[in-house]
Structure formats: C-alpha cells, structure tokens
Amino acid sequence: MREQQLQHPGYCAGCGVKLQTADQEKPGFLPEAALTREPVICQRCFRIKNYNDAASVTVDQDDFLKLLSGIAATNSLVVHIVDLFDFEGSLISGLQRFVGTNPVLLVVNKVDLLPKVTNLNRLRNWVQQQAKAHGLRTVDVLLCSAKRNLGFDRVIEALDRYREGRDVYVVGATNVGKSTLINRLIRDYSDLERELTTSRYPGTTLDAVSIPLEDGRSIIDTPGIVYPSRLTELVPGAILQKILPEHTLKPLVYQLNERQTLFFGALARFDFVQGERQSFTVYIASGIKPHRTKLERADELYQEHAGTLLAPPDAEQLSEIPEWTRHSLRIPRDSRQDIFISGLGWIQANGKTGALVDVYAPKGVKVLLRDAII
C-alpha cells in the first residue's frame, strides 16, 4: 500500500488538491484503501461525485423527527425546501420544535410553475403568512426554481448571509426538488463544475449525506420525508410523471353551473354542488385533462370509464389507487379561496357569492381550503 502511495502522482483527479492520508480534517484527505480506486480522488470529491447516489434517500415522518431532534443540539442553519406546487403537502409541520434556536431559511422551489403574471411580492407575503400560520418562524423566505435557475443567486446570497460559518442542514419532503437544488449548491459552492443528475424515484436507506464545504463546514442533506397525505406518494411511479408538472401551469377556466362535475382522470373529482353560476380556475399538470359532466351523470361515468376516458390511471393501474373519500367544503362569499388537493394542484374559486363543493380524492390525501395563492 505504501509503495502504491509513493508511486501515485499525489494529486486529486477531481479538484487537483495534493492528496494525503494522514488527517481527515485537512484538504486532500482520502483513506488509504481509496488509493487503489481509479480515478484517485480526495474524499471530498468522492462524496460530491457520489452525492446523487445517496440523494434519493427517504424516510417516514417518525424517523425523520428523530433525525431532526439532533439538529437542535448543533449550531447550524436549517434550510427548509418546500414545493410551491404542493405547499401545504410539503411543509414540515413541527419543524420549529426540532430545530431549537437555529435559524430556518425557507426556500420555496418550483416558482417557475406559476404563470408569469404572478405578482412575486404578493406571493412572498402569501408564503410568509402560511408559514406563520403553521407555526414556522423563518429568518427569510426565498422563491426560486432550482431546475430553471431562477432566483438562485438570492439563495446563495442568503446562505452566505445566514450561515455565518456554520453547517447547513437541508430538510424537505420528497419530490420538492431537494436534489436538484443541492446539485446547484454543490456547483456554486465547490470548485467542481459537475452536473449531477436527479432522480424521480425515492430510495430506501436512512443516512444523511454530508457534502463538505471549502471552509471545513458541510451541507448535510437529510433524507426526503415521505408524507402519505400527498397524492404523489400514493400513485405508482408511471403516474407520478403525469401529475408532477414540469412546465409553467396553464390555468384552465371553467364556467360552471351548480350540479356540474369535473373529473381529474380517475384520480380525483370535483362537484360544484350549490351556488350561483361562477368560474373555477384549475391549476394542475398538463398530463391530466379535466373532464366535465353533470353531477347526475358522474357516478355512472366513473363506473363506465375510469381507467379509459378518465385517465390517468389507466385500467391496470386503477386498483393501485386508494378508494376515494369525500370532502365537503363551503367557500365563503367575497373570499378568494383555493380548493387545494395535495400533489394534484388546486382549483381557485372566483365567485363572489360563495359555493358548496365536494371533492373526492384518494383516501389520506390532504384536501383543504386556503387563501388563494394567485
């Protein structure tokens, strides 16, 4: 082994640092065993390179809270990534209790999904209010798109401002874009210009991944939490592709009379039960085409066409979707409200006169009324 070490040119093939096997805390460290690997790279580069293999780690909420409880004892900055498309579904409730006095930076990803006309100041206020209502105190709220590289400079600036030489814990639910965002961070925070790919399908191990920073501190990527209250967690992988929006949402406006129904494939159903004629604006992924019918016809239509006309899911996948539960919601008059279906999207009610609606969604999926996001 020693001979091999001497023969080796002694520089990391990744970042060019002089290699050494003596001190784990110093730059260029690698374990002796790694000298036989090709190419020979330092441990830091090794971890960065392999980040993506480890990034798809997921965990259920109980295990996650255990992991989180360790954060309170550290001196660190907590970066909580939420998905703007599934805000209520991806916000970690109870986060505040576990982070102790450590500051929380709320990074709201996928802002590219909202139509360009969206007023970003208003949106930021909306996020702040929602976070507050969920008991989360934040040092700052940042809107960004990790995928389209929007607002990312601000994220980096905020990290520099609030980190103050501390470690950074990154926490988030699955599919919020955590790995896409960390890949960007790695590129901006390290001297390795390496594009790492992201994955859609969650893995199963439990460890957090530590990515070393230049100053000896680390970005600690914690496992993505699985919330069974999100439609995205309940559907088979093939459907996930259809319900996760990739591009800017195109609002679909429906002028509905009472006793009309909209089907979202065979994934969910919306009944306008009572109220004056009014418009409802649907924000969902383009992979699902809403189907409109009369409420009287709705049950029959479902029986005959679930998995065919009403898809996704297709006929073979239908049995994998949990049975629906009904949520009856009263939209107050003179209010701007969204009917939010976690993981599927939302329907904005535009009437001034109020409405009574029923939503059918797979059992367990979070359905609620909220102040309109747009």
Give the interface with ligand GDP as residue ranges (CB under 6 A). 55, 109-110, 112-113, 145-148, 172, 174-180, 198-200, 224, 244, 246
Residue 70: count of CB within 10 angstroms of its CB? 12
CB of 244 to ligand GDP, least distance (A): 5
Q: How far is the CB of 53 from ligand GDP (least distance, A)?
A: 13
Task: Measure CA 120 to chain center.
Answer: 19
How far apart (Å, rounded) are the C-alpha atoms in residues 35 and 43? 11
C-beta closer to ligand GDP: residue 109 or 278: 109
CB of 196 to ligand GDP, least distance (A): 10
* DSSP class of 311: -
> Alpha-carbon distance 34 to 26, whole Å?
16
| Residue number of the CB atom closest to ligand GDP | 177
CB closer to ligand GDP, 47 vs 148: 148
Q: How far is CA 258 from CA 95, 156, 300, 372, in A?
A: 41, 49, 18, 21
Length of the chain: 374
Neighbours of 92 (CB within 10 A): 24
Nearer to ligand GDP, 180 or 278 (CB): 180
**Nearest CA-CA partner of 292 in 283, 284, 301:** 301
In whole angstroms, how close is the CB of 48 to ligand GDP at the nearest point?
Answer: 16
Q: Which two tokens stand for residue 156?
A: 């980096």
Q: In whole angstroms, how close is the CB of 269 to ligand GDP at the nearest point?
A: 26
Residue 17 or 146: which CB sits closer to ligand GDP? 146
Secondary structure of residue 190 in the 3-state scheme: coil
To the nearest whole angstrom, how small is the minimum distance from the Cβ of residue 304 to ligand GDP? 33
Distance CA 121, CA 14 (A): 41
3-state secondary structure of 368: strand
Query: 249 or 321, CB closer to ligand GDP?
Result: 249
Q: How far is the CB of 241 from ligand GDP (least distance, A)?
A: 8
Q: Which is nearer to ligand GDP, 113 or 331 (CB)?
A: 113
Angle, alpha carbons 335-340-346 (nearest 5°): 90
Q: Which is nearer to ligand GDP, 123 or 357 (CB)?
A: 123
Compare residues 211 and 301 and give the one whose CB is closer to ligand GDP: 211
| Residue 106 structure tokens | 């709320």
Q: How far is the CB of 330 from ligand GDP (least distance, A)?
A: 32
Q: What are residue 294's phi and psi, to 5 degrees?
A: -85, 145
CB neighbours of 91 closer than 8 A, spacing ≥ 6?
80, 82, 130, 131, 134, 136
- Output 235 or 244, the one with its CB closest to ligand GDP: 244
For the bound state, the minimum distance from the C-beta of residue 326 to ligand GDP, rounded and expressed in Å, comes to 30
Scan for tokens 């609606």, then name that residue.
357
Stated as kind and residue range, the H or E segment containing 60 is strand 58-60
Closest by CA position to 159, among listed 199, 232, 211, 223: 211
The alpha carbon of residue 14 and the mean position of all alpha carbons in its chain are separated, in whole angstroms, by 30
Q: How far is the CB of 90 from ligand GDP (least distance, A)?
A: 9
Please report, to the nearest 10 degrees, the dihedral formed by the alpha carbons of residues 152, 153, 159, 165 taken in order: 140
55 or 349, CB closer to ligand GDP? 55
